[in-house]
Homo-oligomer: A and B are copies of this chain.
Amino acid sequence: MKLESRRGALLLDTLKSAGLRLRSDCGGRGTCGKCRIVVKDSSRVSVVEETEKQRLSTFELRSGQRLACCTHLIHDATLSIPEESLATKRKFLIEGTEKPVIVDPAIRKFYVTMQKPSLSDARSDILRLSDSLKDAYGLETTSVDYQLQKRLPEILRKGEWKLTVTMWNNEIISVEPGDTTEEAYGIAVDIGTSKILAYLSNLATGKLVDTGSVENPQAIHGEDVISRISFASEGGEESLKEMQKLVVDGVNAIIQQVCSKSRHAPEQIYEMTVVGNTVMHHLFLGIPTKYLGISPYVPAVSGPIDLKARELSIDMNPAANIHVLPVIAGFVGADALADVISTEIYKSSKLSLIIDIGTNTEIILGDKHEMIACSCASGPAFEGAHIKCGMKAVAGALEKLWIEPENYKVKYVTVGGVKPIGICGSGIVDAVANLSRLGLIDNSGVFVERSPTPRLRTTKGRKEFVLVFRKEGATRDIGITQKDIEQIQLAKAAIYAACYVLMKRKGVKPENIDNVFVAGAFGNYMNLDNAKLIGLFPDVPSRSIRFVGNAAGAGARMALISKKHRRTADLVSQKIRYIELASDSEFQTEFASAMFLPNKRADRFAPFRNAFES
């Protein structure tokens, strides 16, 4: 790349006017030392200043390193710019993880000015544009979006040959009159079976601009993936198209939502990354899910997919790229892969376990050498569904509770601190653990015959423990039924047994596991001791367990703002080995023996504490 500049010009300014912004945290005062460049021949530039000597070692100075904010051009000079000096490579923390991500998106915007065509220079519009990108930024253009080609002649002339070019890798996908380089957005989308979440991000800085969420509109055709598969498969091509349209409508609604909140134009969203379980993944792409519902549960596609937004009728820049992350198996989707990416277990030498709890719970065990994954049906109990008084972790949900041993009085906290109206996942775990601890249920989870308290009552022949009576301030009597306890037993036993199978396959014991990452939408304050008491997790020290919230969304966002993480996701997806529990003889045995309450092994480990004192 060749730049022209006047003699004596400050290199920092010269580079900036060519679009090469260097880091300059101190504002060009020579104190931060971030704008390092390497000058090939020191005699072509001004002499080393005192401030530089304070920031650069003798060795660095001798090898040609200089600060661009202290160096002036004397003659034609050859420079090189270390990647870490570029302002565009900002490190950024993804919400919910502590890992810094270097901002390096596939989308970049460049401002160019061009010579008008003349009889002596009648290059085609596209050639003129790509030549000017090459001249100004040293960029190679490999292609130009076809639909853009049709509009290009008018855009160039409307912009009077001063334009901002948006490139996806080396493809020109958008050209806008004037300088719009500051307006570059991307969106990471996590398509859940029940909820779609989105993260609008600034692609220049990596920062989160806004988040949005909508219910997955496919819910009208069933709550879980199995009913979605049935609907999509049984009605032929039309039903599949309808399912695709529903999820696309949902994604469009969320784009509308975040754009109107943050006052950005959907046309200035130039890329989307998408994660989701394999069924959501296929339905979003309009790919048949039939064989996901039949043994051996084979996905149609698994690798990463790049598509134009217009191919999926997504309302953003029509030439925007939609990058759909790979899936691992029929029931271990791109969301589980995104968990692996955001927790970074793939590059750790320590052994980690990820448990992403949902209607299906995905479990991944491994380290940088090997990762194995499986999936088990755990039902929606932890999300508050199929539970008599269950609800999501929203305002009014009992999210934390403690039953006094003396008088069975219940202390509780609700989400938002308002009047209790139901119970969410973390509250249910607390309730079952307390009932077990106080001997109100036996080992097999059955309520005791003789009730020591009016809270344990029998209505129409069915036993129920009332956590909060209506007269105690609830909107209704909020209780836990025998059936609720069963749901929790089935769920926790499945998860526990699945973890057991993975550990056995890898030949490790709970004590060998260094980190457990628990992801999911069960509420924010899951009591670890209670979770371990009921046997939801393997028996590892509490300090090893971290709740990581929507780790899948974090992974999608990392893939959005960093090409490196996107490549990593692809490579990692090929490394994770899928274990089919259905073909594992021990899963059923272990599942049955994990139904007990309290979980025997967990009991040995965890001293029981009042949740309010911990």
CB–CB B126/A300 < 8 A: yes
With both chains docked as a complex, state the minimum distance between the C-beta of A392 and any C-beta of chain B, in angstroms.
32
Q: Does A525 contact B (CB under 8 A)?
A: no
Contact of A583 among B120, B287, B297 (CB under 8 A): B120
CB–CB A146/B296 < 8 A: no
With both chains docked as a complex, state the minimum distance between the C-beta of A75 and any C-beta of chain B, in angstroms.
33
Alpha-carbon distance A121/B288, docked complex (angstroms):
20
With both chains docked as a complex, state the minimum distance between the C-beta of A58 and any C-beta of chain B, in angstroms.
48
Q: Does A35 contact B (CB under 8 A)?
A: no
Return chain B residues, CB-CB under 8 Å to A299: 124-125
Alpha-carbon distance A123/B300, docked complex (angstroms):
9
CB–CB B122/A301 < 8 A: no
Alpha-carbon distance A327/B578, docked complex (angstroms):
51
Contact of A302 among B119, B126, B327, B583 (CB under 8 A): B126
Q: Does A608 contact B (CB under 8 A)?
A: no
CB–CB B122/A330 < 8 A: yes
For window 71-124 of A, CB contacts with B under 8 Å fall at 117-124
Q: Which chain B residue has the least Cβ–Cβ distance from A299?
A: B124
CB–CB A149/B580 < 8 A: no
With both chains docked as a complex, state the minimum distance between the C-beta of A2 and any C-beta of chain B, in angstroms.
19
Return chain B residues, CB-CB under 8 Å to A286: 150
Chain A interface, number of residues (Cβ within 8 angstroms): 43
Return chain B residues, CB-CB under 8 Å to A290: 153
Copies in the complex: 2
Return chain B residues, CB-CB under 8 Å to A124: 298-303, 327
Return chain B residues, CB-CB under 8 Å to A149: 285, 287, 300-301, 305
With both chains docked as a complex, state the minimum distance between the C-beta of A151 and any C-beta of chain B, in angstroms.
8
Alpha-carbon distance A126/B305, docked complex (angstroms):
12
Return chain B residues, CB-CB under 8 Å to A329: 122
Contact of A153 among B150, B300, B583 (CB under 8 A): B300
With both chains docked as a complex, state the minimum distance between the C-beta of A117 and any C-beta of chain B, in angstroms.
4
Contact of A146 among B297, B305, B580 (CB under 8 A): B305
Alpha-carbon distance A124/B327, docked complex (angstroms):
9
Q: Does A9 contact B (CB under 8 A)?
A: no
Return chain B residues, CB-CB under 8 Å to A311: 146
Alpha-carbon distance A577/B297, docked complex (angstroms):
59
Return chain B residues, CB-CB under 8 Å to A448: none
For window 569-614 of A, CB contacts with B under 8 Å fall at 578, 580, 582-583
With both chains docked as a complex, state the minimum distance between the C-beta of A160 and any C-beta of chain B, in angstroms.
15
Return chain B residues, CB-CB under 8 Å to A125: 291, 298-301
CB–CB A580/B302 < 8 A: no
* A 173-187 to B, binary, CB cutoff 8 A, 1 in contact else 0: 000000000000000
Most buried by B among A144, A298, A329, A578: A298
With both chains docked as a complex, state the minimum distance between the C-beta of A232 and any C-beta of chain B, in angstroms.
12
Alpha-carbon distance A51/B122, docked complex (angstroms):
63
Alpha-carbon distance A11/B492, docked complex (angstroms):
59
CB–CB B287/A580 < 8 A: no
Q: Does A154 contact B (CB under 8 A)?
A: yes
Return chain B residues, CB-CB under 8 Å to A459: none
With both chains docked as a complex, state the minimum distance between the C-beta of A345 and any C-beta of chain B, in angstroms.
23
Return chain B residues, CB-CB under 8 Å to A578: 122
Return chain B residues, CB-CB under 8 Å to A580: 119-120, 122
Q: Which chain B residue has the least Cβ–Cβ distance from A125?
A: B300
Alpha-carbon distance A307/B150, docked complex (angstroms):
14
Q: Does A407 contact B (CB under 8 A)?
A: no
Return chain B residues, CB-CB under 8 Å to A123: 298, 302
With both chains docked as a complex, state the minimum distance between the C-beta of A236 and any C-beta of chain B, in angstroms.
11
For window 111-149 of A, CB contacts with B under 8 Å fall at 117-127, 144, 146, 149
Return chain B residues, CB-CB under 8 Å to A296: 117-119, 121-122
Alpha-carbon distance A287/B126, docked complex (angstroms):
12
Return chain B residues, CB-CB under 8 Å to A119: 295-296, 580, 582-583
Contact of A303 among B127, B288, B583 (CB under 8 A): B127
Return chain B residues, CB-CB under 8 Å to A327: 124
* A 317-350 to B, binary, CB cutoff 8 A, 1 in contact else 0: 0000000000101100000000000000000000
Q: Does A152 contact B (CB under 8 A)?
A: yes
Given contacts A123-B298, A125-B301, 14 further A-B contacts (CB under 8 A): A118-B296, A120-B580, A122-B296, A122-B297, A122-B329, A122-B580, A125-B291, A144-B301, A149-B287, A149-B301, A149-B305, A150-B286, A150-B287, A152-B301
| A-B CB contact pairs (8 Å), 18 listed | A119-B295, A119-B580, A122-B329, A124-B298, A124-B299, A125-B291, A125-B299, A125-B301, A126-B301, A127-B303, A146-B307, A146-B311, A150-B288, A152-B300, A153-B287, A153-B288, A153-B291, A153-B300
A-B pairs with lowest CB-CB distance, top 3: A124-B302, A124-B299, A119-B583
